[in-house]
Amino acid sequence: MTRRRKKVAERRQDYVDANERVWPTFRPRLEAATNLAEAMALLADAVPEGRPGRAYFSNLGFFLMNRTVPSGSNAQERGLYLQLVRRMRDAGDLLPETCGLSEN
C-alpha cells in the first residue's frame, strides 16, 4: 500500500507544529540570558537553515545586530526582547540612554 503524499497545506502545518515544539526549549534559554555574551552564546547554538525553530534564532540575531524587534517575531518574543534589553542594560552592556527605556 502506498502512502498518500501530503498536500502543501499539510506540509506547512507540520512545519508550523514542529516550529512550535521548539519554542518551549528556546524561550527559557532566552529568558535566562542576562547579558550580551549569553545572548550571543544562545545565537551560536542556532539550528540549521530550514529546520524548525530557525526563525527564533534568526529573530534573535536580527534583534542583537539591529537593536530593534524583528517584524516576524511573535508577541512573546517581543516581550522577551524587552526583558533582555533591561538585563543587558543592568549588566552594563547597554547605556540606559541608548536602549530607549526609562529609568523605572
| Residue 3 belongs to some domain of the structure | no
Structural domain containing residue 89: 8-98
How many degrees, rounded to 5, is the angle at CA 71 between CA 65 and CA 77? 75
Domain count of the chain? 1
Taking the C-alpha atoms of residue 45 and residue 54, their distance in angstroms, rounded to an integer, is: 10
Q: What is the pLDDT of residues 14-64, one digit of tens each?
A: 888 888 899 999 999 999 999 999 999 999 999 999 899 999 999 999 999
Give the whole-number percent of the chain exceeding pLDDT 90: 57
| Residue 1 belongs to some domain of the structure | no
Q: Structure pTM? A: 0.79
Length of the chain: 104
| Residue 38 belongs to some domain of the structure | yes
| Residue 43 belongs to some domain of the structure | yes
| Residue 104 belongs to some domain of the structure | no
